């Protein structure tokens, strides 16, 4: 087995990592583990500390009352658990720009600190995007390099290739002698190019597949409502209530017949790509409602579900794209729709904004809009 074969068997933390640990007892991540001082300089942590201070000082003025996190989360349109992560420097999660600005307004924070918060938010998002794109994931510690000026030759976060390569060669030889078939055990199975184009998006080294929706009695919540909005965008008269019943199934089967798809009434890897539409700033109608429904339920902060692709929608979408290793264009293409459909939070029930006339009580646009 060649060295190149082993290196192709998996990404960081894959087959070569397993062999390396077996033969040397050492970890192959080879990334510098941050100490407390380094972590304190991460943009995400600094932003979280700033937001935390805003919240703690909200009750400082005479007569002021600091809102509870539950009440504050309700005002922002996000759940309390998400807000807690934004305000917890020890387990920080990057708050999206719109939430940062809303917190600044709700907590009446010093006006001069808004620009600093925006800068930290932008730096955190850029760093998250770089790490996800590199396949390291946001939890790895390379964030201290580019964001804080510690990268470059000799940086503790850099990989030490001078000793890594000989060790890997030794690991390969030992694996070969022991009869360990690394490629067969750890390599990802080959997929056709067409399947890659329409079926899966690489996110942090993993592949995700289109969810399968079919007729059921129970409420299927956001994904089903998004499906129903997309059907309405194609001119079908269905109700966006989250229940995949006879009406929705009939519309799906007719859509499948018209697009020469298997007419089984199930919405999966063949039907979703034909249903979704590329939408961006300035668009409106049911396709935008579907997008906003999904975006609102990803847990990154409440997105207004209005049917109009506003600047706020584009900003929320770019944030979602950067968090999931997609190019942050602010436009929903097929890959973005796929990620949105997969990364949905389990809903506790039908959201409060769902009304008979449509989200937020707005009148739904005409069929086919």
**Whole-angstrom distance, CA of residue 61 vs CA of residue 350:** 39
- pLDDT confidence of residue 53: 92
Three-state DSSP at 308 gives strand
Measured from the Cβ of residue 177, the count of other Cβ atoms closer than 10 Å reads 8
**pTM score:** 0.49
- Burial of 244: CB neighbours in 10 Å, binned 0-12, 13-18, 19+: buried
Measured from the Cβ of residue 140, the count of other Cβ atoms closer than 10 Å reads 19
**Whole-angstrom distance, CA of residue 89 vs CA of residue 100:** 15
- pLDDT confidence of residue 195: 35
CA angle 277, 363, 235 (to 5 degrees): 40
- Burial of 318: CB neighbours in 10 Å, binned 0-12, 13-18, 19+: buried
Q: What is the DSSP string of 222-279?
A: HHHHHHHHHHHHTT-----SSB--HHHHHHHHHHHHHTT---SS-BSTTHHHHH---B
* pLDDT under 70: residue ranges of the chain: 1-36, 61-64, 128-206, 300-301, 347-369
Does residue 59 contact residue 66 with C-beta atoms inside 8 Å? Answer: yes
- pLDDT confidence of residue 188: 38
| Distances, alpha carbon 247 to alpha carbons 226, 235, 309, 326, in Å | 15, 14, 28, 34
Measured from the Cβ of residue 70, the count of other Cβ atoms closer than 10 Å reads 11
**Whole-angstrom distance, CA of residue 229 vs CA of residue 237:** 10
- pLDDT confidence of residue 363: 43
**What are the tens digits of pLDDT across the range 277-332?**
999 999 999 999 999 999 998 876 678 899 999 999 999 999 999 988 999 999 99
- pLDDT confidence of residue 108: 85
- pLDDT confidence of residue 265: 96
**Whole-angstrom distance, CA of residue 59 vs CA of residue 57:** 5
- pLDDT confidence of residue 169: 56
Per-residue burial over 221-243, b if 16 or more Cβ lie within 10 Å, else e, is bbbbbbbbbbbbbbebebebbbb
- pLDDT confidence of residue 201: 46
**What are the tens digits of pLDDT across the range 155-206?**
344 444 444 555 555 655 665 545 544 344 444 343 333 333 334 444 544 5
């Amino acid at each position: 087995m060649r060295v190149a074969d082993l290196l192709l068997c998996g990404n960081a933390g894959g087959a070569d990592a397993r062999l390396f640990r077996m033969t040397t007892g050492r970890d192959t991540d080879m990334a510098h583990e941050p100490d407390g001082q380094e972590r304190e300089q991460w943009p995400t942590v600094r932003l979280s500390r700033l937001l935390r201070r805003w919240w703690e000082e909200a009750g400082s003025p005479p007569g002021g009352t600091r809102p509870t996190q539950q009440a504050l989360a309700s005002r922002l349109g996000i759940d309390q658990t998400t807000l807690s992560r934004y305000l917890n420097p020890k387990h920080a999660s990057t708050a999206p720009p719109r939430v940062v600005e809303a917190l600044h307004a709700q907590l009446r924070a010093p006006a001069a600190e808004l620009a600093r918060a925006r800068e930290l938010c932008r730096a955190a998002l850029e760093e998250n995007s770089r790490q996800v794109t590199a396949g390291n994931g946001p939890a790895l510690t390379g964030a201290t390099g580019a964001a804080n000026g510690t990268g470059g030759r000799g940086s503790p976060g850099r990989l030490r290739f001078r000793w890594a390569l000989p060790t890997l060669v030794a690991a390969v030889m030992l694996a070969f002698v022991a009869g360990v078939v690394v490629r067969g055990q750890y390599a990802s199975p080959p997929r056709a190019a067409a399947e890659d184009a329409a079926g899966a998006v690489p996110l942090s080294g993993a592949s995700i597949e289109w969810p399968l929706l079919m007729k059921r009695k129970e409420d299927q919540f956001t994904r089903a409502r998004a499906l129903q909005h997309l059907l309405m965008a194609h001119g079908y008269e269905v109700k966006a209530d989250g229940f995949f019943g006879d009406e929705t199934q009939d519309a799906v089967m007719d859509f499948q017949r018209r697009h020469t798809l298997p007419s089984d009434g199930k919405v999966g890897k063949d039907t979703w790509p034909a249903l979704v539409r590329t939408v961006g700033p300035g668009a409106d109608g049911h396709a935008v409602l579907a997008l906003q429904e999904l975006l609102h339920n990803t847990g990154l902060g409440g997105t207004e579900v209005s049917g109009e692709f506003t600047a706020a929608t584009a900003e929320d979408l770019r944030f979602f794209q950067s968090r999931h290793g997609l190019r942050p264009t602010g436009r929903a293409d097929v890959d973005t729709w796929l990620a949105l459909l997969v990364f949905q939070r389990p809903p506790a029930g039908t959201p409060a904004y769902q009304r008979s006339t449509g989200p937020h009580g707005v009148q739904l646009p005409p069929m086919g809009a």
